[in-house]
């Protein structure tokens, strides 16, 4: 079943207004959820919306709160998210980092006590649309063991890097785990093996079996020791810069709320975009691993899906759509 972007957004907004969201907040949050589905990130669009509503009803997300600036040193600002909807606050923070970048070349907004930003790429696209480079990161609940360990002590701590480009922005949106738990479950439900090793089984052997990794709770960070170090550093950066909570403290609370994030923007208005084009062209000039295969730049698939879905409608899981219609 396919529906239009407008229909999806209107339904999200209707539900949020019913939950007493302000007009502006409902508009912004509904737009972000609908855009995530439109760009093919269904897991953080429609499919996540019921869980978002549940968190609001449980009081984990404060719909009346506004993020506020609580500290500043030059172009570096600290904000408190006050547990407002995470995607709303992330958009406000990105907007502020863009403004700092337009004025001073670059700016950084670090946010504590915020909530899940859903799809990190959203803020990369936002910055790129405004002519800015973005580097953003968030921490999360612990869901990976550090290299050499067996117990979850690291978040998958997604990082986003975006660079504006007329022919289609470059947007890397990447969690530090090789596969998310959601992705593991998808493969398990399809009865498929992972394409590459994704973690350890309970005996400590590397495996492509998604079920075994879900049981052992030992998914791999990208690049083993390298991703393990990178995930730890991202936690240090987001928590130190914002004065906010670490993966340890989020995990102790058992609910993934009150996370820490940062948003760096750099004005790219005067940069030479032909440089990105040459890099993409060079990458694509490699022979393919598989007959008819292609090499894609970060953001290329999202843009292709966006165009397809805008033309043909956004594919929705009918059961979840009915659920959202009933909210």
User: Which strands, in side-by-side order, build the sheet including 159-163?
Assistant: 68-73, 76-80, 106-114, 259-267, 132-138, 159-163, 170-174
Binding mask 41-80 for a second copy (x = CB under 8 A): -------------------------------xxxxx----
CA dist 81 and 70 (Å) reads 10
Q: Are strands 259-267 and 106-114 parallel, antiparallel or unpaired?
A: antiparallel
Catalytic residue status for 169? no
With binding defined as CB under 8 A, does residue 108 bind a second copy?
yes
Between helices 23-38 and 121-129, what is the axis angle to 10°?
100
Interface of this chain with a second copy, residues 120 to 149, rule: CB under 8 A: 133, 135, 142, 145-149
CA dist 24 and 128 (Å) reads 23
With binding defined as CB under 8 A, does residue 106 bind a second copy?
yes
Q: Which is nearer to a second copy, 69 or 226 (CB)?
A: 226
Closest CB 205 distance from a second copy, rounded Å: 11
Q: Which is nearer to a second copy, 192 or 281 (CB)?
A: 281
* Contacting residue, 15, 16, 84, 232, with a second copy by CB under 8 A: 232
Binding mask 170-199 for a second copy (x = CB under 8 A): x-x-x---x-----------------xx--
| 264 contacts 134 by C-beta, under 8 angstroms | yes
Element (H, E) at 179: none
* Contacting residue, 50, 131, 243, 315, with a second copy by CB under 8 A: 243
Q: Which is nearer to a second copy, 54 or 69 (CB)?
A: 69
Please report how many Cα atoms fall inside a 13 Å half-sphere around the Cα of residue 190, on the Cβ side.
10
* Contacting residue, 103, 129, 167, 202, with a second copy by CB under 8 A: 103
Closest CB 44 distance from a second copy, rounded Å: 17
With binding defined as CB under 8 A, does residue 32 bind a second copy?
no
Interface of this chain with a second copy, residues 292 to 311, rule: CB under 8 A: 293-298
With binding defined as CB under 8 A, does residue 215 bind a second copy?
no
Please report how many Cα atoms fall inside a 13 Å half-sphere around the Cα of residue 27, on the Cβ side.
3
* Contacting residue, 65, 268, 314, 324, with a second copy by CB under 8 A: 268
With binding defined as CB under 8 A, does residue 229 bind a second copy?
yes
Residue 223 vs residues 89, 214, 235, 267, 302: alpha-carbon distances, Å: 31, 19, 18, 31, 24
CA dist 151 and 158 (Å) reads 20
Cα 175 vs. chain centroid, distance in angstroms? Answer: 8
Catalytic-role residue among 28, 44, 96, 245 = 44
Q: Which is nearer to a second copy, 55 or 220 (CB)?
A: 220
Among all residues, which ones are annotated catalytic? 44
């Amino acid at each position: 079943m396919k529906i239009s972007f407008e229909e999806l957004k209107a339904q999200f907004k209707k539900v949020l207004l019913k939950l007493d969201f302000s007009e502006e907040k409902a508009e912004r949050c509904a737009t972000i959820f609908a855009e995530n589905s439109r760009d093919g990130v269904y897991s953080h669009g429609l499919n996540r919306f019921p869980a978002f509503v549940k968190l609001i009803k449980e009081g984990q997300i404060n719909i009346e709160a506004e993020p506020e600036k609580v500290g500043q040193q030059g172009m570096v600002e600290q904000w408190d998210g006050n547990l407002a909807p995470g995607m709303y606050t992330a958009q406000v923070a990105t907007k502020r980092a863009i403004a700092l970048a337009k004025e001073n070349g670059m700016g950084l907004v670090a946010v504590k006590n915020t909530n899940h930003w859903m799809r990190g790429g959203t803020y990369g696209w936002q910055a790129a649309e405004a002519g800015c480079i973005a580097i953003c990161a968030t921490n999360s609940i612990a869901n990976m063991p550090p290299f050499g360990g067996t117990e979850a002590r690291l978040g998958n701590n997604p990082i986003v890097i975006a660079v504006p480009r007329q022919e289609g922005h470059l947007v890397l949106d990447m969690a530090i785990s090789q596969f998310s738990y959601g992705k593991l479950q998808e493969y398990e439900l399809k009865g498929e093996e992972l394409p590459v090793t994704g973690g350890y089984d309970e005996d400590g052997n590397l495996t492509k079996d998604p079920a075994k990794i879900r049981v052992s709770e030992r998914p791999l960070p990208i690049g083993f020791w390298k991703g393990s170090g990178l995930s730890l550093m991202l936690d240090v950066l987001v928590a130190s810069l914002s004065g906010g909570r670490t993966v340890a403290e989020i995990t102790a609370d058992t609910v993934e709320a009150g996370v820490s994030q940062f948003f760096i923007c750099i004005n790219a208005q005067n940069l030479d975009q032909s440089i990105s084009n040459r890099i993409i062209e060079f990458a694509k000039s490699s022979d393919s691993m598989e007959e008819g295969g292609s090499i894609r730049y970060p953001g290329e698939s999202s843009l292709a899906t966006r165009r397809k879905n805008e033309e043909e409608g956004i594919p929705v899981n009918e059961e979840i759509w009915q659920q959202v219609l009933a909210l």
